[in-house]
Structure 1
Amino acid sequence: MKICTNCVMPSTKPDLHFNEDGVCDACQSQKSKNSEIDWKKREEEFLDLIKQYKVHPDYDCVIGVSGGKDSTYQVIKVLELGLNPLCICFEPTIPTEIGRKNLENLNNLGVDLIHIKRNPVVYKKLAKEAFIRTGDNEWQNHLGIFTTVPKFAVNFNIPLIIWGESPQIEYGGPASSKTRNTLDRQWLEEFGGLLGNRISDMVGVEGLTKKDLSLYTYASDEDIHRVGVTGLFLGYYFKWDLREVVKKSKEHGFSVQDRPVETTYENFENLDCYSNHLHDYLKYVKYGFGRATDNACLDIRLGYIKREEGVRLVNKYDGIPPKKAIKEYLNYTGFTQEEFNKIVDSYTNKRIFKRDENGKFLRDIDGSLVRKEEFIVK
């Protein structure tokens, strides 16, 4: 396993590439962001581009929001640019109290907000089946976010959608994804984390029909073209800095915890939903890195910490099972602890983590998987 020589991201991250010096493409992207991209020109390009969209009688754009730091920042930014957005929130799997508070705060920034209370019967069936099929407990929520926003854009005849940062530019990924400034059906299917499972594959699950799954089905090409829907990444036009995003969001009322969240050393990540912390843990068991690695890599690339500190933080925080999130998830789904453990173990990486003579994964006293020596971050 390679570890980036600049940050602490391992080569087990899907679609991550390294140059001849052992530097991952996310670090190379940051270098490009710092020295090669003319951000002033990008901003002018964006301001010129949005002129054609400021013709709608009610709204200039649609924004998908959760109330988290990123969507709060998106709303702040578009309001500063003189746009009037319609905000769409697709209800989280297991909402938190601080998440509700932050969503209300976003609403109070001065925007209209549609809060989608998805059908709980359909949603739970999708959630349980997706967890079994893909090992991703948030598959249905991510899909719902990316399908409902363009649906409302079509229904309200609003052609412009504003998304946040470009995940591939910030976290690394295929080169083809970094040159795209738009999010559409193709992006969702190629880079949106569906893990080979399409919504059409879920028809028939516990009696689910195509009609039941309409909300999770992307708007038709005919409707998209009729309205002219275009989804733009704000992070393509404005330099994205995680800590600046948090700082500005807090200045406009965004609340953080008084302690780190379960899966990392930060107190501002995934505050809207308990289930997101389990999603981060499942990434760890599959690929050997979790949210602490993501945060440490961003902090290193942005110059807030040195690599040595990043190594310490990753080894301290990554991999500890999020007990509160797991408890909430079991209560929500009805899975027993044994059923849950069996599914998680079926997706746990046998190359990275140690097993005993019976093939059972070894765990420390805190429940953390034991890594093989060659896979310890150094």
Structure 2
Amino acid sequence: METIKRCNRCVLDSTVEDNTFDSDGVCKYCYIHDELERSHPVSEFQVEKLINRIKDAGRHKKYDCVCGLSGGRDSSYTLLKAVEYGLRPLVVSVDNGWGTSIADANIKNACDILKLKPITIKFDWNEYRDLQRSFFIAGVPDVDSPTDLAIYAALHQLARQYKIRYILNGHSFRTEGSSPISWSYFDPVYIKNVQNEFGTIRYDKIRSIPTITSRDLIVDTFIHRIKEVRILEFMDYRKKDVDKELKEKLKWQDYGGHHQENKFTHFIQSYYLPVKFNIDKRKTELSAQIRSGHITRKEALKIIGQPYSFDQEIVDEVTARLGFSPQQFQSMMQEKTHSHREFKTLLSFYRLFRFPIYLVVRMKLLPQILYLKYCQ
């Protein structure tokens, strides 16, 4: 049996297929974190500079940015800060059929208190179920990729429609880290190929779920000059402090764990990934918090030393709604695992054109994480 090697700085280990270690035993994701730290210092000046840039680009328009809202901590806080800094966001929520009553209440309270009217994009359940089933049948870990791509596409489509140049993203590498691409990968070509091979509906026949092509991305970046920005990455973003502020200002309710505002992501992270793929996403989040000084490595090791708890009722509900019998699902859980590497993706394109992408990132037209994760 191969010995598992763990990073000497964080808690990511060699079970992450695309992870590498230097001579000091430090993993590549620690170096990605350090690169992001250098380019995204905690700075009120940098936040205000970015906010003013967004305001200038949105002058004389109804909205100056697009902001997705899931009811979770990160997106709720991003929206709160955007409004407090004087931005005029177009709020977008995506209903993929897996939301919880807590998330719905958080979305409603935030919009009511901040006096905003959200646009809700609702997926056709039959189309979306078919798309999700395809990824389970394919046996890959990226089963939430269709939602990730749909949200990304929806934000771009609305930015295009309303001539908005900035999309606010609620991610913070200091608390969430960077998910390994062997754990979670998505691009339009990958989603299309998995669906066309394993689904019953051709991908180009799906109508209710927003999609985006490589051509769309190029046009959005260079013609419409649409940019994704992450204001939290310039802030000292700490979960405990943020929770307190959200509860006081937006009547926000905690839903129990990261991404558990959604039943499907709860099921994926607490049951499907750990049991079938030996993937524990707590390692990514805790590693980020170790690097940021929010938690000690000893504390993180203690947490991941305990099995990821799951709710059997949610497991049963998800599998039943997806149309799998208990026997079918357990059979899939025992089958051989597969990876995005077995399908056509854009990854080879990213790596072939790594230098042009690097230049575009340096021009701040694309997020730096795109180059750090996909081009090296």
Please indicate the TM-score interval, normalised by the length of the shorter structure. 0.7 to 0.9
- Name the residue aligned to 1:260: none
1:6 corresponding residue in structure 2: 9
Moved more, 241-250 or 26-35: 26-35
- Cα deviation digits, residues 42-79 of structure 1 (max 9, x gap): 32541342243231421110011211101001101111
**Where in structure 2 are the equivalents of 1:1-378 lying within 5 Å?**
1-28=4-31, 38-40=41-43, 41-108=45-112, 109-133=114-138, 134-165=140-171, 170-172=176-178, 193-194=186-187, 197-199=190-192, 202-203=195-196, 205-208=199-202, 210-213=204-207, 215-218=209-212, 220=216, 221-222=218-219, 225-252=222-249, 253-257=251-255, 267-280=256-269, 281-285=271-275, 288-318=278-308, 320-347=309-336
5+ long unaligned stretches in structure 1: 178-190, 258-266, 350-378
* 1:99–1:271 CA contact under 8 A, matched in 2: no
Structure 2: gaps spanning 5 or more residues? 339-376
Matching residue's letter, 2:16: K
Q: Provide the secondary structure at the position in 2 that maps to 1:326.
A: helix
Identity %: 24
Other-structure match for 1:356: none
Q: Write the distance in 2 (CA, Å) between the matches of 1:12 and 1:35.
A: 28
Per the alignment, do residues 215 and 155 of structure 1 end up closer, same or farther by CA in structure 2, a change over 3 Å counting? farther
CA drift at 1:129: 1.0
RMSD of equivalent CA atoms: 3.2
Relative distance call for 1:26 and 1:225 in structure 2 (3 A) is: closer
Query: What SS does the corresponding residue of 2:168 show, helix, strand or coil?
Result: strand
Residues 30, 114 of structure 1: CA spacing in aligned structure 2 closer, same or farther, 3 A cutoff? same
Q: Is the 8 A contact 1:93 1:141 kept in 2?
A: no
TM-score, normalized by length of structure 2?
Answer: 0.74
Residue aligned with 1:88, SS: strand
* Partner deviation per Cα, 1:178-233 (whole Å, 9 max, x = no partner): xxxxxxxxxxxxx8535972326535832436242473321624466543322222
Runs (4+) off by over 6 Å: 32-36
Tell me the SS of whatever aligns to 1:127.
helix
Distance in structure 1 (CA, Å) of the matches to 2:109 and 2:304: 32
Cα distance in 2 for partners of 1:95, 1:173 equals 22
What CA deviation, in whole Å up to 9, does each residue of 1:300-330 have, x standing for no partner? 3343433223222112133x45423211102
Q: Which amino acid aligns with 2:303?
A: L
Aligned length: 324
What is the match of residue 346 of structure 2?
none
Once the two structures are TM-superposed, the CA of residue 34 in structure 1 deviates from its matched residue by: 6.8
Partners in 1 of 2:9 and 2:325 — Cα distance? 42
